[in-house]
Structure formats: C-alpha cells, structure tokens
Amino acid sequence: MPRNGSGTYTLPTGNPVEANTIIEAEWANTTLDDIGSEITDSLSRSGEGGMLAPLRFYAGTVGVPGIAWLDETSSGFYRSGAGEFWTTVLGTQVVQFTNSSVLIPSGIDLTVQGDVDFQGTFDVLGDFKVNTDKFVVTGASGNTTIAGTLGVTGAITATGGVSGAVTSSSVTITGGTINGTSVGATTASSGAFTTLSASGAFSLTGDQVQVSEGGTGATTAAGARSAILPSYATNALKFLRVNSGATDVEWVAESGLGTVTSVAASFTGGIVSVSGSPITSSGTLGFTVAGTSGGIPYFSSATGWASSAALAANSIVIGGGAGVAPSTTTTGTGVLTALGNNTGSAGAFVVNGGALGTPSSGTLTNVTGLPLSTGVTGTLSVANGGTGQTSYTDGQLLIGNSTGNTLAKATLTAGSGISITNGSGTITIAATGGSGTVTSVDVSGGTTGLTTSGGPVTTSGTITLAGTLITSNGGTGVTTYSAGDLVYYASGTALSKLAIGTNNYVLTSNGTSPTWTANTGTGNVVRATSPTLTTPTLGVASATSVNKVAITAPATSATLTIADGKTLTANNSLTLAGTDSTTMTFPSSSATVAGLGIAQSFTAKQTFTGSTSVLAAAFTNVVEPATISATAATGTINYDVTTQSVLYYTSNASANWTVNFRASSGTSLDTAMATGDAMTVTFLVTQGATPYYNSAVQVDGSSVTPKYQGGTAWTSGNASGIDIYTYTIIKTGSATFTVLASQTQFA
C-alpha cells in the first residue's frame, strides 16, 4: 500500500505475520513487491535518482535549520514564517528572503566580486565600497544618493557635477566652479575657497587654515597641539580630561605622583629573614623561614619569635611559660593509649586498661577490698601491722627490737647439754650426752611478759606459763579478739586492735594508724580488673601520673568529657587551642581533616558561601590541572570537565570539530552542575598551515549555540599557531545551558 498524505507507510493486508507462519507466495510476494515499490520511491542517500515531485522540508529554527549539513547542523535554511525564509550560519541569521525583498541584516557584510545590475531600489545603511575600477549609474536610473561614505579605489568621473564633499589624494576638476570660483585644469583660478577638504596629502601655499576655519593655524604638530589644546604653561605632569560640564577639556593634576627610589622589607622578631632589601632599581625580596625540624614556633617575648627544640614523638606538649619554649613529656609509648580508655564517670581520671597501674607518685587515700596477694607489692612494715620481713630459714624466730621498732630474725643457740634442731616449722630442743643429776628445774618469764608457776621442780611436776607475750619477744600483747579484728603496732609492748569496719568502708591510714573510712560514690572499689572510679581524688599534687600518663592539675577545675561508648584516640601529639565556647565540628563520616599548612586533595565538591559582608574565598594563586595530548582536533571531542580545566592538543588540527562538554564518560554535566552554577574551561588547539576551527558546541551530546565574544561566530582558525578557545558554561535550568565562547590566537 502506498504512503498516505503524511508519508506514513502501511503494510498490505495480512501483515504483520504471526509467529511460526509458513512463508507463502500468496502474501509474501505481495508484501515484498509493495515494500520494494516504496523503497524505489524513497530518496537515495548516495544521490542515485532524483525527486519526481516537490521536496518538502521541516521548517526548523535559526539554531536547528530544516535544511542543514551533517558536519554543521546549525548552518542551512529555515522557514521563519509565512512567505519568509532565512539562511543561517552557525545559528546566526545571514540573509532573509521574502516574495518582495532580499535582506542582509545589520552586522553582516555583503561583498560583491562581479558586476551587479540593480533595477530597483538599492538601500545601503552602512558604508558602501566599490573595489573595482568603476561604478556606473546610467542616466535612466536617475540620481544616486549616498547617505554614508562612498569609498572608491580608482577615479570618479562626474560630468553632471558633484554635490557634497569629495575626499581624495588627487582630484581632477575640469571646468565648473567651486562655491562660485571658476576652476581650470588641476589648479583653481584666483579667488577664495570657503570649503575645501582632502583625505590624502594636502598642502596650502601662503597661509594656514585657521582654527576658526576648522584648521590649527600651525604648520607643525607641536604648534597644532599648542593651538588647539589648553595652555601648557604651569601644567607639567598633568593629564588631560573632559571637564565636569562635558563642554571642553582641561589639565588636571594627578594626586600622588612621584618617584619611588627604594623599596625595603624587614621582619622583626626572629624566624623569618629577609634578603634582597632594599631594592633601588629592580630585584626580588626573599623571605626565608628558619627553625628546628620537629619544633614549633612560639613567642619568646612580647614581640619576638623563636623555634622550640624538636618535640618528641607520641608526647604531650607542655607550655614553658612566658619566654620559655614549649616542650614535651612522656613516660612511655603507652601515654596516648592510656588516654583512650574511658574508666569512671565524668571528671574521673583516665586509667590505662581500667587499672590504676603503678603511679610513680601520688597518695592513695581511699581503697577497699584490695587483694593482698595480687594488689600489694613490697614489704608490710611493723608500723602497718606487718613484720618487715620477706623470707625465713628453718627455726628462725621474730624477736622485738626497740631500736627502730622492728622485728629481727634469730635462731635459738644450743647450750651446754642442750641440742637445737631446726625443722620446717619446728624447733626440737633435746638434752645431749653427758651424765649428771638435775636436782631442780625452774623457768623465768624474764621481760617477755610471761609468768611461771609450779617451779622449781626438784623431783617431778609441771611448770605452768601464764601472762601475755609482749611484742618485743614476738608476741602481740593482746589476749582477746573479736571477729574481723585487725592488729597493728602503735606503741608500747602490745599490738593494737582495729575492729572490723562498716560494710563498704575502706581501710585507710591517718599517718600513724589504720582507720576505716566511708567509701564515697557507687560501684566497686578498685581491683585488678576494670573497676569504675566515681569522682575520686587522687592526691593533691600539681601534676599526677596515672599509668605513666602525666596529668597536670588545673588552678581551679577542668572537665574532659567523652560521650558514652565513644573512644578518643590520638596517634601523635595533639594540641587543641581555641577560645572559650569554641566548637569544632568534625565530618559525620570517616574523613581526613585538612591542615592549613598541609597539601590536601579534595575528592568531593567543596562549597564556600561567605556571607553578605564577607567574600567566600581568597587565593593568592591557584593551579589548574591540564591534560596535554598529542592529538589532532577533528570530529567530536568529548571534554570531561572533571578531568581537567585546560585541554591542550599538541598535534595540528586536521578538520573542523565539535566539542562536547560533559562531567565524565559516566556522568552528565547536567547531573554535576546545579542551576545557577557556572564554570570556565579552556581548549588549546595547535594549528598547521591549513587552519580549522570549532564549528559546533554540545553539552551532554545536545547542540548549544554559544554567545560569541564580539557578537560574531568565528568561521575559521588561525594558521601556524595555537588557537585558545575559552568557554564559560552557565546552567540556567534542567538540561539548559548558556555558553559564552571566545577564540584567541597565539603564535
């Protein structure tokens, strides 16, 4: 079936064919014949055959004409309205055609290189130039009026006279008059000319054209300047400007003029030294920073700077006070690790692993439940209820010593007829050999505090000991106890007793004797495994070391708060400085915090907004990434703005090209930019003897007609150099962009 009036083709009856249908001549041949007929009636892309009926086109627009070229889709013809169509080149209107006129719009030059015969009205609104040897106006055409300037290369023959000014390097006037004065040959006869002009070499003999006649009244350039400008007198080093009424010019002194004979620079206070100062003609001022590697600068005085010594790694920085360099302190590599443990509640000391460890100094004032076997090291002295001894041999006894109030170790010494055998926890006293008769045995308690009865025994009997063994003889001097009593030595011959304390009280010392003290706070007392310390007071020293971490006591109070379940880890020395109420907010996800003096690479978009009174950013200098490629410009070139700001093709361009701007191969520029965003990129193209140019611009594959610098699209490149194309891309809406383009030649 043939196409309908809209050009739509419909398959013959019986189509489309259902799946698994057998091909039969009855319908297949009819269908193929119909398709073949329609293909034959179609226009060949390779130019075979021709149209047999009028060829109709889509109207199009100035940027997308209905008739265009594959290599330049924004150039061609388009219909703008009834009875009107235009030629457009790179999206710019060039010629308008209607049923009554042909229009060359303002800003478009018309150059004619052959003969032109105008039989109607020929209006020229700008300059009219004829670059041939003649311009002929036939008598039948009537007078020709030039409203602008008529530039002629060659001669003008005006047999009917010329009304107006004629400017030329040489004018031949045959006969006639000039303002009533007869003229012959090339020289005017005697008389006065009131109007005479020339555009080339022109001379007057005998007089000068006065200022009142439009001249200068002078024969030299210096004289002319003196004649037409305000007086030079007393106006040295002044500049010429239009006066406030815009009616004349006047000389005005420039404020602040003078001569700089020397420029110097200095830096007081140390650290920075200056070289090359002063500069009296030309030169460079150099600034050099010097200090100790690993140190930090500090104020050594109110106006002076200095560098501290190298600060130790993994240490805490301590201020030295006025005029003194900061330094570091550490008691081991576990300092920072200890700070990472959160033990206790707000205001508590931070302890390594939750255990108090072994402080190098400080006073333990309150401890309960301390396990003696694992929680106490050293030797418990007699003054604290101990013995002051750590080891024994078999048979040794503890004997009081009033000198120093100590217990000494000693063994029994065998006497005459007596043997002493020391065993593991036993002493055996036995009579040794010899013979004789003991007639009386008695025992004396001496100064031990013990008494005897039943002695002396002369035959048989029992000697009974009584009394209490005093401390100086290894006893306690105590005869009765209650459950939980603790014994300790205070003074005299007997140990003192301390009754069991109240539940949860802790054993402390007042310096002379032990005592039970109420345990403040809640939770368990400090043991060997992860206790909770609730607002403890660990000593009153100005600096306390907890598990080798030095903590300096503040003058009044200070608070270190770490949120529940959080960890503070510092892998290097860390100093936080600021003013009261300063809040530092870190990123909500893992990230690297940028340092002011450290090179950083930002992989995400950073937005600097500033405020209504403060600019968003200030850069002394900025380096933009450039991609340098030994590539020749041709075809469609994808410009990925996330890769570079400057793209430089170093091989000679081989054809006109289209540039397509996108964020990257996987991201559109429309996605990467927000409405109101603008960016500027540069494309450097190397040109050979035959230049080419950027003939089309796309954003994300869609054509965009740029706004060209100077208002006119370029139509060629520049040979044997580098053409630099600069594009400012502004997103004005969804998938809508304005592109400002310029072309600059460098050779």
SS (H, E, C) 416-479: CCEEEEEECCEEEEEECCCCCCCCCECCCCCCCCEEEECCCECCCCCCEEEECCCHHHCCCCCC
Give the CA-trace dihedral at 192, 198, 204, 207, to 10 degrees: 60
Percentage above 90 pLDDT, the chain: 21
Cis amide prior to 587 (ω within 30 degrees): no
For tokens 């608070």, name the residue.
559
Q: What is the pLDDT of residues 580-637, one digit of tens each?
A: 777 777 777 777 777 777 777 777 777 888 888 888 888 888 888 999 999 999 999 9
At residue 274, the pLDDT reads 83
Q: What is the mean pLDDT of the chain?
A: 79
Highest mean pLDDT of the ranges 74-88, 128-142, 379-393, 648-662? 648-662
Report the pLDDT averaged over residues 85-103.
Answer: 92
At 418, the pLDDT band (50, 70, 90 cuts) reads confident
Structure tokens at 310: 């190298």
Cis peptide bond prior to 2, omega within 30° of 0 = no
Average pLDDT over residues 706-734: 96
Q: Where are the domains of the chain?
A: 626-746
pLDDT at position 626 is 94
User: Tokens 């400007």 — which residue?
Assistant: 241
The Cβ of residue 332 has, within 10 Å, a number of other Cβ atoms equal to 12
Average pLDDT value for residue range 327-337: 64
DSSP string, 241-277: EE-TTSSSEEEEEPTT------B-----SSSEEEES-
> How far from the centroid of its chain's Cα atoms is residue 11's Cα?
64
Comparing 220-224, 449-453, 576-580, 639-643, which segment has the lowest mean pLDDT? 576-580
Q: How confident is the model at residue 189 (pLDDT cuts 50, 70, 90)?
A: very low
pTM summary value: 0.31
User: Which residue's entry shows tokens 């915090």?
Assistant: 593
Is pLDDT larger for residue 604 or for residue 88?
88
How sure is the predictor about 165, in pLDDT bands with cuts at 50, 70 and 90?
Answer: low
Contact between 520 and 534 (Cβ < 8 Å): yes
Per residue in 358-367, pLDDT (tens digit) is 555 556 666 6
The encoded tokens of residue 241 equal 């400007």
> For position 716, what pLDDT does the model report?
95
151-178 burial string, b = 16+ CB within 10 Å, else e? eeeeeeeeeeeeeeeeeeeeeebeeeee
The answer for 269, left when phi > 0, alpha when psi is -120 to 50, beta otherwise, is left
Coil, helix or strand at residue 488: strand
**Beta strand pairing call for 102-103 and 128-130:** unpaired
Residue 465 has pLDDT above 50, yes or no: yes
Angle made by CA atoms 735, 740, 744, in degrees to the nearest 5: 140
SS3 string, 93-149, reads EEEEEECCCEECCCCCCCCCCCCCCCCCCCCCCCCEEECCCCCCCCHHHCCCCCCCC
Beta bridge partners of 733: 736
Q: How many CB atoms lie within 10 A of CB 428?
A: 10
CB 201 within 8 A of CB 195: no
Q: Tell me, what's the pLDDT at 502?
A: 85
Selected residue with higher pLDDT from 8 and 193: 8
Digit-coded pLDDT (tens) for 517-572: 887 665 555 655 666 666 665 555 555 666 677 777 788 888 888 888 888 888 88
More confidently predicted of 681 and 583 = 681
CB-based contact 624:645 (threshold 8 Å): yes
pLDDT tens, residue by residue, 227-275: 788 887 888 778 888 888 888 888 888 776 667 788 888 877 677 888 8
Q: What is the pLDDT of residues 442-454, one digit of tens each?
A: 888 788 878 888 8
Tokens 């226009």 map to which residue?
A: 43
For residue 737, give the amino acid letter.
Answer: F
Q: What are phi and psi of 83, to 5 degrees?
A: 65, 25
SS3 354: helix
Chain-centre distance for alpha carbon 684: 27
Per-residue pLDDT at 185: 40
- Report whether 15 contacts 32 (CB < 8 A): no
- Whether the predicted pLDDT of 191 surpasses 50: no
Residue 627 to residues 85, 403, 693, Cα–Cα distance (Å)? 44, 92, 20
Termini Cα distance of the chain: 64
* CATH 3.40.50 assigned to 626-746: no
SS (H, E, C) 675-712: CCCEEEEEEEEEECCCCCCEEEEEECCEEECCEEHHHC
Looking at 269-367, list the stretches that DSSP marks H as alpha helix, in order from N- to C-terminal side: 335-339
Query: b vs e for 189-210, b when ≥16 Cβ sit within 10 Å of the residue's Cβ?
Result: eeeeeeeeeeeeeeeeeeeeee
How would you classify residue 209: left for phi > 0, otherwise alpha for psi between -120 and 50, otherwise beta? Answer: beta
Per-residue pLDDT, 638: 97
